[in-house]
A and B are shown apart, each in its own frame.
Chain A
Amino acid sequence: MVDISFGPTPGKRPDPASLQGGYLLQSRRKRLYSTILLVFFVALMAAGFQTAQDRNAGDFLAGLHRLDDFPREVFSEAWTNRANLPALFLKFLPSLIETLNIAAAATILGGLVGAPLAILSTHGLARWPRLAPLFRRCADVMRAVPEIVIALVLIFVLGAGPVPAVIAIAFHTAGALGKLFSETAENADLKPVEGLASTGANWAQQIWLGILPQVAPNWLSYALMRFEINVRASAILGFVGSGGIGYDLKIAMQWGGGKYDQVVAIFLLLFLAIVAIDQLSSIARNRLVKGR
């Protein structure tokens, strides 16, 4: 706006006569760049697949036709023993509940740690503004730790069970939610905080009464999304570590043929649980964020 009132901007101006040529030149150069980028990307993918292929035990093309061997074997055996399935569902239900409990506990604990971490690292809300980058960095590091690392180490110290998995997932969740929560809190309206400050409310009261009611729907929605992720993580951790339905799956798999009806029962339970949770949580999240 200022430039217009103060005359033309300095520098070479496009020549109106050769406007078309300039445009074509520019678009040609742009196309060239994207082609180079595309070729580079394709080469990278191809080289990557080749490397992965070389370091793999089995060949990709040779394995392709074997892809359905295992599922077919498993399902055909389970089909002959299909009468067992309802009983097996009941048998593994407690393990599934344990897996879900691990995920829920980890989400709650992670949220309880992540929330203060988020507030403390949010610009404008932090109790100690100078330490805000430190808390942010903390959340970054916590987020970067894969669950398996902490879980396996804790299993050595605490012994096998659900608690190492809870702590491991909660640690990662706290970092992940800390970041998401902080992004939401950054956009919160500060006027309620000012109002509360004018009545003499202390920092905790300002956050509790001024910020939390604003961010609660979004925070809950993020926590639900995290719960979906954590259910999967808890199933995987069971497989490599211990606890929950993943562990039962590992035991049934190690048995090999003869217990494939159990494998199928666990597959189905896990699949149904994940789909159901995804659907319920997505409905709940839509309600929370967009209103009813």
Chain B
Amino acid sequence: MTTVPLRALRSSFRTRRLTSLAIPAAILAYLIYLAISFDVIGLAQRASLENAKVLLSDFVSYKTHVTRSNRDGHLSVAIEGEAKGTYPAGRLPDWVTVAGDTTRIDLGRGHIVTYSPDAARYVVPGYGAIDIHSDGSKLTLTAPKPIPDWINVADTRISVTTGQGRFSYSRSKVETFRYQFGWELFFFTLDSPFYGKSYGQLTSLLTAPRIDSTQSNAALMWHDFWHNALWHHSDVAWAMGETVLMAFLGTFGAALVALPLAFFAASNFAPFRGLRFAFRRLFDFLRGVDGLIWTIILSRAFGPGPMTGALAILTTDSGTFGKMFSEALENIDEKQVEGLRSTGANALLRARFGVLPQIAPVLLSQVLYYLESNTRSATVIGAIVGGGIGLLLTQAIQTQKDWEDVAYYMILIVLMVMLMDSFSGWLRRRFIKG
């Protein structure tokens, strides 16, 4: 045994400790540089907390607008203020009561809003009554002094914001928003006979006499749900199907294209070196150009739609698969091929019976892994080529108000990807482990 000089050992420890400190320090320095170059401090100031609040509250709740026109006195109660979510005249929600010219809105927890001709009153528990009177051109506010900052007074508009809702009075209209938890009208819209029924009532309706004489209640129920005018369930289902279709066609199409080509790029199958080199560079090119550029080029030729998305995935992944498959081909056991050659089998038969059975599990496992990852890519590509759930998502985000739709799509996308993940995992286990 040789004695290691103690000093050398110590200094080697010291260098090691220094390097182990240097790496985190370098990463930290890089992150600080990024924070400066991305202007994170400026971003913190620009970030809109108001938007974040709107977004989060819209994700889990909905608001109902109770609007009275001050010109003709017409009252409308509409979910999210949309025409398709407007309550029919005789069937207002139970927290809105109309008696003659006065409308009473119960916002819960003792908050009561009353509309009367040319006036409105909002009773806030613990504060008092806020009275607004309009004489045609001017609004007068009567409320306990001092006026708190959640009451906003201007010449033409007075608005009140409380934890229970929002109220605003202007010359043209008086409007109250009530916020409620959940996604309203998710199953049935207001014009459906099934709206507002409990699960028990719905089940008993299945066997009850027909509401619509032309079809059974179950069919009607399905129709009303599937063609829901606010949530568009059938369109969403189609969009999801398109996204999965893009991923499926792209992935398996790429595998079918890449498999024969990979033989030319594998060193033990390529007829001569030049050809192998050419195919390798082709695969590198397909991969390197990247899905984004392929998507742009292909959508110019084929127009927007799922086919274009599928072809974009197919093109990019042909390169990826070509490279992986040719590597797998280079690692096969030559003995089986030799055995087949001794029986006089030609190149095609040797490939089919000598090579394919060896590499099939590896290839299939790689392809299935990409199927899941391409489902995610198909969402993004769909946003560019205009197909699938990616398109719906970007459209919903661009309106900047249908955040409940965005939340719905997000949940569906995550579920879809996880489902594809377990499906491809299941297939992998089934085919590869027997």
Q: Are B31 and A108 in contact (CB under 8 A)?
A: yes
Are B249 and A236 in contact, CB atoms less than 8 angstroms apart?
Answer: no
Among A1-9, A117-125, A150-158, A183-191, the one that faces the other chain is A150-158
Say whether, besides A63-B301, A105-B34, A236-B291, A158 and B47 are in contact (CB < 8 Å).
yes
Q: Which residue of B lies closest to A152 (CB)?
A: B397
Partner of B307, one of A52, A105, A166, A237: A52
B60 within 8 A of A: no
Residues 262-293 of chain B: 1 if any A CB is under 8 Å from the residue's CB, otherwise 0? 00000000000000000000001001111111
The answer on a CB contact under 8 Å between B303 and A162 is no
Given contacts A56-B306, A108-B31, contact A159 B46 (CB under 8 A): yes
Interface set, chain A 145-202, CB cutoff 8 A to B: 145-149, 152-153, 156-159, 161-163, 166, 172
Interface string of B332-369 (1 = CB under 8 A from A): 00000000000000000000000000000000000000
Q: Is B207 an interface residue (CB 8 A)?
A: no
Which chain B residues lie closer than 8 Å to A144 at the CB level? Answer: 376, 413-414, 417-418, 421
Is the pair A275, B284 in contact by a Cβ cutoff of 8 Å?
Answer: yes
Question: How many cross-chain pairs have Cβ atoms below 8 Å apart between A and B?
Answer: 182
B220 within 8 A of partner (CB): no
Query: Which residue of chain B is the closest to A71 with respect to CB atoms?
Result: B297
- The reply on A278 being an interface residue by CB < 8 A is yes
Interface size class of A (residues with CB under 8 A): 35 or more
A270 touches B307 (CB 8 A): no
**Contact with B48, one of A140, A157, A172 (Cβ below 8 angstroms):** A157
User: In whole angstroms, how far apart are the Cα atoms of A10 and B4 in the complex?
Assistant: 65
Chain A residues positioned under 8 Å from B43 (CB to CB): 158-159, 161, 163
Which residues, 36 to 67 on B, are CB-close (under 8 Å) to A?
37-40, 43, 46-48, 51-52, 55
Q: Would you call B245 an interface residue if the criterion is a C-beta within 8 Å of the partner chain's C-beta atoms?
A: yes
Cα A239 to Cα B380 with chains together (Å)? 10
A140 to B288, CA, bound (A): 28
Contacts of B253 in A (CB 8 A): 45
A288 at the interface (CB under 8 A from B): no
Q: A48-B245, A63-B302, A158-B46 are in contact. Are A274 and B307 (CB under 8 A)?
A: no
Within B386-404, the residues touching A (CB, 8 Å) are 386-387, 390, 393-394, 397, 400
What chain A residues lie within 8 Å of B387 (beta carbons)?
55-56
Contact A163-B393, Cβ < 8 Å, known A56-B306, A157-B52, A278-B287 = no
- Given A48-B249, A162-B38, A163-B38, decide whether A105 and B306 contact each other with a Cβ distance below 8 A: no
Of residues 92 through 138 on chain A, the ones whose CB sits less than 8 Å from some CB of chain B are: 98, 101, 104-105, 108
Q: Does B305 count as interface, using CB distance less than 8 angstroms?
A: yes
Residues of B within 8 A of A232 (CB): 290-292
Interface contact B307-A53, CB-CB below 8 Å: yes
- Measured between beta carbons, the chain B residues less than 8 angstroms from A143 are 417, 421
Query: With A and B bound together, what is the CA distance between A232 and B31 in angstroms?
Result: 20
Alpha-carbon distance A108/B52, docked complex (angstroms): 26
- With contact pairs A101-B37, A240-B383 given, residues A274 and B290 touching in the complex (Cβ less than 8 Å): yes
Query: CA separation between A52 and B386, bound complex, in Å?
Result: 13
- B92 contacts the other chain (CB 8 A): no
- If A49-B249, A58-B301, A158-B46 touch, whether A270 touches B380 (CB-CB below 8 Å) is no
Residues on A with C-beta less than 8 A from B288 are 271, 274-275, 278
The residue on A at minimum CB distance from B39 is A161
Partner of A141, one of B245, B284, B414: B414
Q: Which residues of B contact A55 (CB under 8 A)?
A: 242, 305-307, 387
Could you tell me which residues of chain A, from 253 to 292, have a CB within 8 Å of some CB in chain B? 253, 267, 270-271, 274-275, 278
Q: How large is the interface on B (under 10, 10 to 19, 20 to 34, 35 or more residues)?
A: 35 or more
**A109: nearest chain-B partner, CB-CB:** B31
Q: Does B78 contact A (CB under 8 A)?
A: no
Interface residue? A210 (CB, 8 A): no
Is A24's CB within 8 Å of the partner chain B? Answer: no
Interface of B is mostly: helix
Contact B297 A57 (CB under 8 A): no
Q: Tell me which residues across on chain B come within 8 A of A235, comparing CB atoms.
A: 290, 292
**A271: B residues at CB distance < 8 A:** 288-290, 293
B310 within 8 A of A: yes
B287, B302, B377, B406: the one contacting A153 at CB < 8 Å is B406
Nearest Cβ distance between residue A48 and chain B, in whole angstroms?
5
B77 at the interface (CB under 8 A from A): no
Digit string of B178-211 for contact with A (CB within 8 Å is 1, else 0)? Answer: 0000000000000000000000000000000000
Q: How far does the alpha carbon of A71 sit from the alpha carbon of B310 in the complex, in Å?
A: 19
Is A60 interfacial (CB 8 A cutoff)? yes
- Encode B374-388 as 1/0 by CB contact (under 8 A) with A: 001101100110110
A56-B383 Cα distance, complex, nearest whole Å: 14
What is the CA–CA distance of A66 and B46 in the complex, to the nearest angstrom?
A: 45
Give Cα A186–Cα B296 distance, bound, in whole angstroms: 42
User: Does residue A67 face the partner (Cβ distance < 8 Å to B)?
Assistant: yes
Within 8 A of A (CB), among B225-250: 242, 245-246, 248-249
User: B321 at the A/B interface (Cβ < 8 Å)?
Assistant: no
Partner of B245 from the list A51, A236, A237 (CB cut-off 8 Å) is A51
Asked if A19 CB lies within 8 Å of chain B CBs, one says no
Complex contact B31–A105 (CB within 8 A):
yes
Q: How far is the CA of A177 from the CA of B306 in the complex (A)?
A: 30
Contact of A57 among B242, B287, B305 (CB under 8 A): B305
Most chain A C-beta atoms within 10 Å of own C-beta, residue among B39, B47, B293, B414 = B293
In the complex, B30 has a CB within 8 A of chain A: yes
A-B contact pairs, 21 of them (CB 8 A): A52-B307, A56-B303, A57-B303, A58-B301, A59-B302, A70-B301, A105-B34, A105-B38, A108-B27, A153-B410, A156-B397, A156-B400, A158-B43, A158-B48, A162-B38, A163-B38, A232-B292, A239-B384, A240-B394, A249-B292, A278-B288
Known: A48-B249, A240-B384. 6 other contacts (CB 8 A): A41-B252, A58-B301, A98-B37, A104-B30, A152-B394, A270-B290
- Identify the 5 closest CB pairs spanning chains A and B, nearest first: A56-B305, A58-B303, A57-B303, A56-B307, A70-B300
